[in-house]
Amino acid sequence: DAGITQSPRHKVTETGTPVTLRCHQTENHRYMYWYRQDPGHGLRLIHYSYGVKDTDKGEVSDGYSVSRSKTEDFLLTLESATSSQTSVYFCAIREANYGYTFGSGTRLTVV
């Protein structure tokens, strides 16, 4: 499995502030994804990337942006955090067998 690390693991931030979450992988996987997980909604795709500088929106992309300037890092930015963005955020990479490997998650609280 790919080494995949999310940082930070926990964060509390104030409404209106920008927040950046980082996903780092060590095995040069091309495809990377950001999901959020909320009770009653399961996992919903925010943004994904299919190569350096190649990104696309998922189903809940409003209020989020991403960047992928190198293969190993995929950054998720909340441009101006809102309470509705309180959630657990998961990064994932796609393995050669098409299964996903997930990071341990970032628990974000917006107060």
Partner 1 sequence: SQQGEEDPQALSIQEGENATMNCSYKTSINNLQWYRQNSGRGLVHLILIRSNEREKHSGRLRVTLDTSKKSSSLLITASRAADTASYFCATGASDLPGANSKLTFGKGITLSVRP
| CA-wise closest residue to 100 among 21, 53, 31 | 31
Nearer to partner 1, 48 or 64 (CB): 48
Nearer to partner 1, 96 or 111 (CB): 96
Burial environment of residue 43 by CB neighbours within 10 A (0 to 12, 13 to 18, 19 or more):
middle
Specify the 3-state DSSP secondary structure of 49.
Answer: strand
For partner 1, give the closer residue by CB, 20 or 94: 94
Binding footprint of partner 1 on the chain (CB under 8 A): 30-31, 33, 35, 40-45, 48, 50, 56, 58-59, 90, 92, 94-95, 97-105
Minimum distance between the CB of residue 24 and partner 1, rounded to whole angstroms? 14
CA 109 to chain centre: 15
CB of 111 to partner 1, least distance (A): 21
